[in-house]
């Protein structure tokens, strides 16, 4: 039986809405990596140090260029900001207090990080209220940096990489990437309230590549 306000559906993993919401966020995060000109694999088995291990993250970015590692893998998880799965039914529906995003990130790290060989791992933890864990914000910043560097190289402004114009363009791209993940979070949160999603419309998973004109305009404004 669900709690009085239905908060349990935001935490339940047993219905199709949970999977659909998770997969949409996963696909959008993968597209952001593709926009940075990274080769991406989704839900592919990754070589691990543990023989016979079937663990796999959601997204694998090939040749991510982290010192000491070949690739980067991340795994997506959405967390409800309200308690919905407690056996103490009286507290279901109450706001979670403390570092609940960090707690979920720790679970992901313990599950994946030690098993990968020469592959870095990052937890992508989001709340249904659109809170973003710092490790994912860091990943979005790195992707924005890669996008901006590649753009400056493309237009022949390599000598400007690192200057004030570059920094403003990178900050603008980071804001674009961060906003691009907001709608998928909202969709994932909403779809979790549908116990069956077969009759619901699915949004497009692709995030358009940031228009180069936007960078030109933002640079010209400086």
Q: Where are the alpha helices (DSSP H) in the chain?
A: 16-35, 100-112, 134-154, 164-180, 182-191, 212-220
What residues are paired with 41 via a beta bridge?
60
- What CA–CA distance (Å, rounded) separates 117 from 71? 10
The answer to pTM > 0.95 is: no
Whether residue 140 contacts residue 177, with contact meaning beta carbons closer than 8 Å, is answered with yes
Positions in the chain whose pLDDT score sits under 70: 1-17, 45-55, 83-98, 117, 192-222
**Res 168: pLDDT:** 94
Whether residue 67 contacts residue 117, with contact meaning beta carbons closer than 8 Å, is answered with no
């Amino acid at each position: 039986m669900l709690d009085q306000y239905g908060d349990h559906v935001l935490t339940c993993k047993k219905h199709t809405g949970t999977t659909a919401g998770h997969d949409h966020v996963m696909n959008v995060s993968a597209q952001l990596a593709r926009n940075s000109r990274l080769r991406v694999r989704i839900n592919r088995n990754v070589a691990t140090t543990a023989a016979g291990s079937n663990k796999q993250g959601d997204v694998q970015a090939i040749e991510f260029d982290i010192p000491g590692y070949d690739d980067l893998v991340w795994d997506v998880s959405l967390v409800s900001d309200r308690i919905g799965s407690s056996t103490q039914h009286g507290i279901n529906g109450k706001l979670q207090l403390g570092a609940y995003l960090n707690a979920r990130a720790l679970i992901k790290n313990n599950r994946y990080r030690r098993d990968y060989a020469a592959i870095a791992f990052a937890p992508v933890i989001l709340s249904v209220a659109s809170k973003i864990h710092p490790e994912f914000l860091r990943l979005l910043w790195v992707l924005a940096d890669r996008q901006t560097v590649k753009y400056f190289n493309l237009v022949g402004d390599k000598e400007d990489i690192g200057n004030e114009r570059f920094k403003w363009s990178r900050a603008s791209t980071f804001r674009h990437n961060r906003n691009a993940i907001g709608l998928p979070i909202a969709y994932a949160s909403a779809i979790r309230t549908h116990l069956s999603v077969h009759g619901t419309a699915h949004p497009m998973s692709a995030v358009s590549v940031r228009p180069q004109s936007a960078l030109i305009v933002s640079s010209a404004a400086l």
